[in-house]
Structure formats: structure tokens, C-alpha cells
Structure 1
Amino acid sequence: MSDALHIRLCQSWDANADAWTRVVRDGAIPSRRAGTDAAVVEATLKGLPPGGRVLDVGCGEGWLSRALAALGATVHGVDGSAGLIESAREGGGSFDVVSYGAAEADPARLGGPYDAAVFNFALLDESVAGTLRAAASRLDAGGRVIVQTVHPIAVDPPYADGWRQESFASMAEGFEPMPWYFRTLGSWVRALGTAGLGLTEVVEPTDPDTGHPLSLILVAEPR
């Protein structure tokens, strides 16, 4: 069952590439406006040297790569969706089609070395340790891995690892439903450990109006 859901997850990004590009560029996602975009940019730039090298894994249509580059970073984005990479390249920058499976099999395909690797809502599969390990292997000494993901308390019960479905009901038309894998905070810490990473910082951006958590940001370093 999990293999079938993995395949559907991968296929959904190609199917939704145009719709996703549109809502991102239209600023149509409230949580991003409220703070998740700014939070991941800040977390990635923290401690980055001038002109620091960043790997944007699961870069989508490239907004984060462009935002970091505009602030002085040297950024390379990769994504398994050819449609999303095509959209990313339209805005300029360095982007390649590299699936997570290909990166795990040959981490050199990710390029590098880098000072940081960032996953912005880009680890949605049941198995993530291999992808984290591949990205971490491309870091220079002192490099960091930054993961922004769904905050566990912002999701309906049960509080347990498992597959869920994103219907995109709050979005504009044009989306196909997408399976994604929810994991608890403890599960995230274990995944980082399995990948050879040690957690160094936890950031919990909150909505300035409601005070509710918008996301969870985990910062880790190779052990």
C-alpha cells in the first residue's frame, strides 16, 4: 500500500505543477503570507556566510531559491517534477530535475558542496531518512539541514504517523488530491537520527493574529 501511495505522491506534483505555480505566485496561501515563507528564509540564512551555498531540495517552482539568492546566497534547487523545474527556470536561477530516489542512489547529483540544505514542506513521503542523508552528505563541515514541515498540533487526530490526504479544498480549482505522510515530533527526531543528523534547534512560527502555530522548523547538523 505504501508503495502505491509513494507513486501517487510523486505523480501528484507533476499533475498539480501548473496549479501550484499559480497559487504560489499569486500569494494565495494564507499561512505563507502569515509567516512560513519569512520563517524558512530566516532559518536558512541564520549562520550562513556571505554568499553561502544553499541546496533547496524539493524546490517546486523556485520561490525560496529566488528569495535566498536575492539576499545574497548562492542557491541550487532540485525537484523530481519536471513541470515544476520548468516553472522554476522561467524565473531564472540554477535548477535541475533530480528525484529523491535518484539523489539517494547518487548523492553527487545534488551538486555541492553546500553550507546548508533546506527542505520547505518537501518531505511528505513515509521514508525520508535516505533523502536527508543524501543532502547532508553534500554539506561542507559545519553545514546545516533545515526542514520546515506541518506543525503536529495543527493536524486533526489521531496523533500518530500515517498517510493522510490533502484535498486542496481551500485552493483554487485545478488541483488533484495528494497523499502525504504525517509524522509526530518524535518521529521527526528519529528520522533525523537515522539520517546521521543531530537536532540543534526547533523553531515554531506562529500566526501574528491568532497565535496558533503555522509550522515546525527543525535545524540539524551531521553528527
Structure 2
Amino acid sequence: MSEEIHRRFVEIAGGLSPVLVDALERGGPVAFRADASQPLAERLCRSVAGQQLSVKAARSIWSRVLTAAGSMPLTEFLVETNGEAIRACGLSAAKTRAMCAIAREARAGGLEAGELRDLDHAARSRRLTALWGVGQWTADMISIFYFGDEDVWPDGDVAARKTLSRLTSPRRKTVRTAARFAPYRSRLALYMWRHADAPPV
């Protein structure tokens, strides 16, 4: 499947930019794997906690959150009355508020993964971004990496957007360019992230 999609991507890229063709061919097919092994609320909280942080810093903070929660279920620990203990893990007041909002929604039964999996990305995004502190970028990442939605273009992700723009044309809107790769736009983002992390040739 990955090989077939890769060939299709190279063909589409041929009508857009030889630089994009070269980038795709040099990297080869990308593997696309979703991971829903954690409860959705926990994954959402971890995503919020790690926003705008390095991977190392995000892991460190999340480890402190889990340690602070101890044997208590995370959605029970993440309540406003524990705000001081949560912030002491290295989280801002805004991130603490967002994580408590996610946990509150989970306790109320509003974050059932099975129900959200049945929605399309637009409807799922509306549900997730209705939570305080959860933006479109987080909704996109959850759709791609948790629910395995293959057709999400995360235009709010700076690395994906800038890489696609650089490999095609800065004058063309990346949303329009990405639309050419439907229904596999999530894979296009994976190609862009891999290229952004690749050492220059």
C-alpha cells in the first residue's frame, strides 16, 4: 500500500515541482502507523502539555505529571483543586486549565474514542476544539496519530507548511497544494516532517 501511494505521490508531484519529486524519491515511501493504546483523554493532555516544547522537555514534564498523580487515575488527578501540584510539574496556568477541562470532559463521558473515531475529521475537530485550550493543531495531531485518519493536512503545523511551500512555490497556498494529494494528506505531512528533519544533501 505504501509503495502504491508513494508512486502516486511522485506522479502528482511531477505536475507541481521537480524539487518536490526529488524530495519524495530520495526519501522513499513513508510508514503510517496510528497508536491508540492510551486513553484519548491522556493522549490529549500529553499533547497539550508538550505544545511549544522540545521533545526532551515535554517528556520530562509529562513524567512529573504521572509521578504527581501516583496511583490515582489521571482524569481524577487533573482537577482544579490540584492546580498547584499540576503547575509544580512545570506547566503554565493555561496548560493546567486546558488539561483539567479535558479531564472534566472525559469524566462526563464526552471523550469516548469509539464515538469520535466514527466522525469525520471536521466533526471530530469541532468536538475537540470546543474544549478550552484545545486548538486545531492538537485536533489534527490526534486525528492523524491517534485515530489514524489518512486525509488530514495540518496547515497549522509550521514545519509541514513551510516545507511544502519551500518544495513547491511560496506563492501557492499549501492547502490547495495538499488537496492534490487527497485522500492521503496525512501521509503528505509525514513526508514533509521527514524531509524537514533530513540532513541537507
Fold match by TM threshold 0.5? no
More strand by share: 1
The TM-score normalised by the length of structure 1 is: 0.25
More helix by share: 2
The TM-score normalised by the length of structure 2 is: 0.27
